[in-house]
Amino acid sequence: MVKLISRWIMKRLNIILILSILLTGCSSYYKDVIRSLESKYKKGDVIIVNDWALLRSSKFFDLHNNKLKITMIEKIQRDSAISWYGHWGSEHEIYLVSATKFEPSDRDVFIDAKVLKILNPKDSSFYFIDGAPCSTYRNTVHLIQNKRISEMSVIPVESAIKIWGIKAGKNGALMMNTKK
């Protein structure tokens, strides 16, 4: 009970701090927040900005250092992270960030965060993206980067083998369609 009350108080204090900084316009705070997120990212933590999961950052932290206005940062508790983001939540700390005026740039690799639960770089599932077969995690990320996912389905092993044969379907399949 004490832990629950303590978390509730810390969330409220974080929101109050961010709102007060937003109202006073302290730009150095944003730079500190961006630097803090960058250090978490470099440590291997997952940063999710407005439902976009940052997978590779070439320029994200530099580009957004002055422009990105953070309205909320929340570390997801381990149990919730695992249930929402599967393997990513079990192996990494996950931070949700809400920010104004943010869109992924072509210089970085973002994927729709709802895909994290079923997309695993260690898994050798067969992927089918917008009607095109894709046999590797890397190519899958390339096809879905910076695109919203409109629908996705996990195809069990038996069904995947019937559709694509034993070689492609032996580990099941994942079908995704992106928004046009």
Q: How far is CA 152 from CA 45, 49, 85, 107, 173, in A?
A: 25, 21, 15, 25, 11
Q: pLDDT by residue (tens digit) across 27-59? A: 566 678 788 888 899 899 999 999 999 988 877
- Looking at residue 129, what is its pLDDT? 92
d(CA 12, CA 144) in angstroms, rounded, equals: 35
Q: How far is CA 51 from CA 73, 113, 171, in A?
A: 12, 5, 28
- Looking at residue 89, what is its pLDDT? 85
- Looking at residue 32, what is its pLDDT? 80
β-bridge pairing 69-75 and 94-100 = antiparallel
- Give, for all 180 residues of the chain, the pLDDT tens digit: 555 555 655 565 555 555 554 444 445 666 787 888 888 998 999 999 999 999 888 777 776 666 677 888 899 998 888 888 888 888 889 999 988 878 787 788 899 998 988 888 887 788 989 988 887 888 888 899 999 999 999 899 999 899 888 988 888 888 999 997
d(CA 148, CA 130) in angstroms, rounded, equals: 12
Task: Retrieve residue 24's tokens.
Answer: 């006073």
Residue with tokens 């369609």, as numbered in its chain: 177
d(CA 41, CA 61) in angstroms, rounded, equals: 10
- The answer to pTM > 0.95 is no
d(CA 132, CA 51) in angstroms, rounded, equals: 25
Burial of residue 64 (number of CB atoms within 10 Å: 0-12, 13-18, 19+):
buried
